[in-house]
Amino acid sequence: MPERMLATRPATEDDFQYVWSVYREAVKPHIAPKLKDGWHDAIEEKNFHTIWNAADSHIITVDETPIGWGGVAISGKEARIDHLYIEPGHRGKGYGSRLVSEMTKQWTQQGKTVHAPVLKDQRLMKLASHLGFERSGEDSADPLTQTFTHAKK
């Protein structure tokens, strides 16, 4: 079977519903139990709309079909992977790992330090470590995440 074409394209405001649905599917199991009044889609979608920035986001595609999205912030000597979510049906196939590996390689070659807030989930934190990230000394402002920094080699 030929290798599938993994790519990204810049997100637009028209992608909001898709991005929101992938985000909701990925984070709801982690966040809902910690919310005092539980998860309410309308409230969480409104909150998400205030933090999502199309200009810093990319739609992840395989063979031109959207499978997830990511958000990055790049400045001076730093790159930050703020979001990376893959649709449930495409998880576990290595797409996110491949994308993170390629991005961190490029950014570290440019002399940038790469950071990523990772949900405090054992599986996700183990994956971050497997991809060359280490827990950084700084704690995330968000109590649900831990900041990881890519270990330069």
Residue 126 falls inside a structural domain? yes
Task: Return the SS3 of 105.
Answer: helix
Residue 116 falls inside a structural domain? yes
Segments forming the whole domain that contains residue 82: 6-150
Residue 152 tokens read as 């330069």
Tally of structural domains, the chain:
1
- Using one digit for the tens of pLDDT, what is the confidence trace for 26-44? 999 988 988 889 999 999 9
Return d(Cα 18, Cα 22) in angstroms, integer: 6
Residue 1 falls inside a structural domain? no
**In degrees, to the nearest 5, what angle opens at C-alpha 66 toward C-alphas 83 and 45?**
50
Q: How many residues does the chain have?
A: 153
**Domain containing residue 137: CATH number:** 3.40.630.30
Residue 86 falls inside a structural domain? yes
> Each residue's pLDDT tens digit in the chain (153 positions)?
556 789 999 999 999 999 999 999 999 998 898 888 999 999 999 999 999 999 999 999 999 999 999 999 999 999 999 999 999 999 999 999 999 999 999 999 999 999 999 988 898 999 999 999 999 866 656 778 889 999 876
